[in-house]
Amino acid sequence: MREGFSRKHDMLTERLFNERSSKGTSRGHVVECEVFERMLDEYCQIVGWDVTTDVPTTKRLEELGIEK
C-alpha cells in the first residue's frame, strides 16, 4: 500500500494465461484467468484484506495493532 501497489498489480504475465507450459508437471496447461482471480479473492480473505482493493481491513489492522 505504501508503495502504491493495488489489486491491479497482482497479476501474472500474459504469457502464463496464453502459452501452454512446455515443461514440468504443468506441461500443456495455461493459467485460467477466472481461476486466478478466485484464488486472489481467497487469499485476500485469508489474510484479512479487502477483496476489491487489496487493502487490509480495519479489523485486520486492529488485530495487528496498527492504527490508520
- List CB contacts of 27: < 8 A, sequence separation 6 or more: 20, 21
State the pTM of this model: 0.77
What's 9's DSSP letter?
G
Domain boundaries defined on the chain: 7-63
Confidence of residue 1 (pLDDT cuts 50, 70, 90): confident
What's 2's DSSP letter?
T
Distance in Å from the first CA to the final CA of the chain: 12
**Inter-residue contact 29 to 21 (CB < 8 Å):** yes
Look at residue 39 and tell me whether its pLDDT is greater than 90. yes
